[in-house]
Structure 1
Amino acid sequence: MFEVLVFVYEHYWRGDACPELPQLERRLSAHGFEPTEIHEALVWLDGLNLAAQSTCLPDADARPLPDAPDAGSAQSTGSMRVYSVAEQGHLGAQCLGFISFLESSGVLPPAMREIVVDRAMAAPGDPVALDDLKIIVLMVYWSFGQEPDALVLDELCDDSDNRLAH
């Protein structure tokens, strides 16, 4: 499934540039992907599209008013995300640590984090591999038509196996 997602990410600049799922299915099949991989990826992408369409990201330049009602969509500064036992088991310590790293770096807003967690829970693997989570994060950015900044993109695309510790 993840090979199909990487193909989609590399060949379609933004989520809104991606063809409708039936047409995408034909293109993926023409490129030689297995029908089961295509089906899993399309079901996963459909869930991503639904989540992205129902989520409104705050404008990065806009500052929220201190007492403005927000219908519970924004997370307050002092709040903390508590992961369920199922989420902890399926995501594993490495993925949870990476999500925390992205959040604390200020590059993964709470609304996007929730979509990342939702899509990771819908992904195969027990626990989900860190490299697969990085693809999920890229796909969430992609679904909003955003590209992470260069340092985050480097972290998401970097092969950590070849790193040397200093």
Structure 2
Amino acid sequence: MFDILVYLYETYYRPDACPEPAALARKLSAVGFDEVEISEALVWLTDLTEMAGAEHSAVQASTGTRFYVDREVDVLGTSAIGFIAFLESAGVISALQREIVIERALAVGESPVSLGKLKIIVLMLLWSQGKEPDALMFDDLFGDDEQAPRLLH
């Protein structure tokens, strides 16, 4: 599924440039993607688009601390939670976007979701909202997960 999401991001500059779901499924199939993965990706992307377009004024105005329940910690892991906190503190994502990222990560059905896949989720959220991360954030989102960790000083 994530290969399809990356393909869509790289192929279509904006989400509204994508063809309708049936035509998109045919194009993805013609490129060589598996029918099951295409279906999963389109459902996942449709749900993301619906969530990203919804208004949640209570979450948008949130300035509180986010506590993660056990299931979220199990699925996300500490690296992903730390990365989400970093993105939010850097102003790349809002509190509402953070909640969408968490929900979409939980919807993947993997435990734990790798940091690389979480980065794709964040990138797809921003893409679905017509936002593009700046160059440094783009490097963080598509950077090598195996590189040495950054020092805070």
The two structures have a TM-score, normalised by structure 1, of 0.84
The two structures have a TM-score, normalised by structure 2, of 0.91
In the TM superposition, 1:1-166 aligns within 5 A as 1-55=1-55, 71-77=57-63, 79-163=64-148
Could you report, residue by residue, the CA deviation over 1:112-146 in whole angstroms, capped at 9, with x for unpaired residues?
Answer: 11111111111132100000000000000000011
Greater share of residues in helix: 2
Structure 1 pair 76/49, CA: closer, same or farther in 2 (3 Å)? closer
Aligned mates of 1:127, 1:118 — CA distance in 2: 14
Deviation, 1:75, is: 3.1
Structure 1 pair 28/144, CA: closer, same or farther in 2 (3 Å)? same
Aligned mates of 2:147, 2:88 — CA distance in 1: 25
Could you report, residue by residue, the CA deviation over 1:30-60 in whole angstroms, capped at 9, with x for unpaired residues?
Answer: 100011111111110111111122147xxxx
Moved over 4 A (4+): 162-166
Aligned mates of 1:127, 1:55 — CA distance in 2: 29
Deviation, 1:108, is: 1.2
- Where structure 2 has 5 or more consecutive residues not aligned to the other structure, the ranges are none
Among all aligned residue pairs of Structure 1 and Structure 2, give the percentage whose two residues are the same amino acid: 49
Asked if structure 2 preserves the Cα contact closer than 8 Å seen for 1:16 and 1:145, the reply is no
Deviation, 1:76, is: 4.0
The one-letter amino acid of 1:75's match is: A
Which of the pair has more CA radius of gyration? 1
Count the aligned residue pairs: 151
Deviation, 1:73, is: 3.8
Which gives a bigger RCO, structure 1 or 2 (Cα 8 Å, sep 6+)? Answer: 1
